[in-house]
């Protein structure tokens, strides 16, 4: 199959591997395009349930789920048979560009280690406030192939994972951003270099605005080495005073020196204090949410959305579930004990951003889970002063316990037994509640994946919220 010519789908035999939500959407689209479609899934009704039974002889394209790593037998077989492998995102992009009159909506793409979902939601909200039909799609939960052919859509705001980008090569986005980069999924990709290279694809050929995190050296390097389309503007965002070509913050005010709004001498966009969801009750700013907001503003302004719509959308925006959300509180005011769900903090980089939002000694931290080979010494060395106590959950506790013993031996730690699994979070909240004092927060930002003891990070967050409300009810009498 040639990147430069339309795919003649009626002559293609497509294997869709993995029948999750995006896989099912891919099947529907390929059938609509007239392709012959076969399927593979070890755990669902499919043409083949065993990889060894797949007849590769007539297959020309494989649309693959992120569940299959590059080193998996399925991927290796596809390569050995010279089969074109693509993600569901790549499939959707081909559908878009091959439409006869090229009338399908443009895309804004967001990737990065952390903050992708929040930035995607914020950007979509800004476009929607301006009156556009701009759904948030992709890795956020709605397959982009499901909406790409919807003629009512004005723009697709697409969250892109590194897994998806590994088998995506043709994107030429209208606006693109990388929120940040840290070690994550290195086992899947085979190392940081490969992980970063997958993320960097989002910048290739971007036409209007390339947005990068100017506070992240790795992202900055990718942005400076990118090959956008001629005339594309490059815009950095920073939590500090912005330089020319950047959006940043001066004395609590968001300042544009990117040239998106006015000249590069600087234009005040809004006071951070207007955006209550970006701050603690005492006004302390959540740095990672502010960074997400700045990134979304750069994308929306670069797309052509008016400053007024961007600011008003951000005022009314609230982060999606399981992102630094207060789910229960005992008491009121400065001496309350608040329970905060940040279950989306599934790696050390995200947990660091979450912990850094709070004052020294303020946090009773619930941490741990599936470590995915990660170590936590650097995280705890940097965040030691934030902690008053730690409760460790998960079946993979050694990395967290070792790091705490090494870097924070003075911090009290409770280890939660792995069984019975059904009461893990209830017992964790009980232990955290025993440590918590007025003015402190119980923060569930585990720095680990959830699948060892929970269905998903959302399930983990829901169980935390339920247990926290039960604890508050019992202790508020």
Q: Which residue has the tokens 């889970």?
A: 369
Residue among 214, 202, 118 at smallest CA distance from 166: 202
Is 112 within any annotated ligand binding site?
A: yes
CA angle (417 as vertex; 412, 420 as ends), nearest 5: 150
Instruction: Report whether 418 contacts 396 (CB < 8 A).
Output: no
> 46: alpha, beta or left, given left = phi > 0 and alpha = psi -120 to 50?
beta
Is 180 within any annotated ligand binding site?
A: no
Beta bridge partners of 271: 253
Is 18 within any annotated ligand binding site?
A: no
Burial of 55 (0-12, 13-18, 19+ CB in 10 A): exposed
* Residue-wise burial string across 243-261, b where 16 or more C-beta atoms lie within 10 A, e elsewhere: eeebbbbeeeebbbbbebb
Instruction: Report whether 87 contacts 20 (CB < 8 A).
Output: no
Residue among 197, 136, 154, 473 at smallest CA distance from 327: 473
Residue among 373, 400, 452 at smallest CA distance from 189: 373
Beta bridge partners of 250: 253
Taking the chain, what is the end-to-end CA distance rounded to the nearest angstrom? 68
Is 116 within any annotated ligand binding site?
A: yes
Is 113 within any annotated ligand binding site?
A: yes
Instruction: Tell me the C-alpha distance between 302 and 123, whole Å.
Output: 11
Between the CA of residue 80 and those of 18, 55, 59, 75, 188, what are the distances in Å? 19, 13, 12, 9, 20
Is 470 within any annotated ligand binding site?
A: no
Is 114 within any annotated ligand binding site?
A: yes
Annotated binding site: 112-118
Annotated binding site for ATP: 112-118
């Amino acid at each position: 199959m040639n990147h430069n010519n339309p795919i003649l789908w009626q002559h293609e035999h497509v294997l869709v591997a993995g029948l999750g939500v995006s896989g099912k959407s891919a099947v529907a689209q390929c059938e609509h395009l007239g392709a012959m479609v076969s399927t593979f899934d070890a755990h669902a009704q499919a043409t083949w349930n065993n990889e060894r039974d797949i007849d590769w002889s007539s297959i020309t394209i494989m649309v693959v789920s992120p569940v299959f790593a590059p080193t998996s037998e399925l991927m290796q077989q596809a390569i050995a048979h010279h089969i074109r492998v693509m993600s569901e995102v790549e499939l959707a992009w081909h559908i878009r560009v091959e439409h006869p009159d090229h009338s399908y909506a443009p895309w804004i793409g967001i990737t990065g280690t952390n903050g992708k979902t929040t930035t995607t939601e914020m950007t979509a909200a800004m476009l929607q406030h301006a009156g556009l039909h701009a759904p948030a799609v992709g890795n956020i939960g709605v397959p982009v192939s499901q909406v790409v052919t919807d003629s009512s859509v004005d723009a697709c705001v697409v969250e892109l994972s590194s897994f998806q980008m590994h088998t995506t090569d043709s994107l030429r986005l209208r606006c693109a951003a990388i929120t940040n980069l840290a070690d994550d999924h290195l086992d899947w990709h085979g190392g940081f270099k490969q992980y970063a290279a997958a993320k960097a694809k989002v910048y290739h050929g971007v036409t209007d605005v390339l947005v990068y995190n100017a506070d992240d050296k790795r992202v900055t390097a990718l942005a400076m080495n990118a090959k956008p389309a001629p005339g594309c503007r490059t815009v950095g965002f920073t939590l500090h005073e912005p330089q020319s070509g950047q959006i940043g913050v001066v004395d609590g005010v968001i300042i544009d020196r990117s040239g998106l709004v006015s000249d590069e001498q600087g234009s005040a966009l809004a006071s951070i204090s207007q955006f209550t969801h970006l701050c603690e009750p005492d006004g302390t700013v959540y740095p990672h949410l502010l960074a997400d907001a700045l990134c979304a503003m750069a994308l929306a302004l670069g797309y052509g959305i008016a400053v007024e719509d961007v600011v008003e959308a951000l005022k009314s925006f609230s982060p999606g579930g399981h992102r630094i959300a207060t789910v229960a509180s005992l008491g009121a005011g400065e001496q309350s004990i608040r329970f905060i769900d940040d279950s989306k903090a599934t790696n050390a980089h995200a947990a660091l951003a979450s912990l850094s939002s709070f004052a020294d000694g303020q946090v009773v931290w619930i941490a741990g889970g599936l470590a995915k080979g990660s170590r936590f010494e650097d995280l705890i060395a940097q965040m030691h002063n934030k902690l008053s106590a730690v409760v460790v959950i998960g079946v993979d506790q050694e990395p967290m316990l070792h790091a705490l013993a090494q870097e924070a031996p003075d911090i009290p730690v409770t280890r939660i037994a792995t069984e019975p699994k059904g009461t893990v979070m209830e017992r964790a909240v009980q232990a955290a509640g025993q440590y918590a004092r007025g003015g402190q927060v119980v923060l569930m930002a585990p720095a680990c994946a959830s699948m060892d003891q929970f269905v998903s990070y959302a399930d983990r967050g829901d169980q935390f919220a339920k247990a926290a409300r039960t604890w508050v009810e019992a202790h508020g009498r």
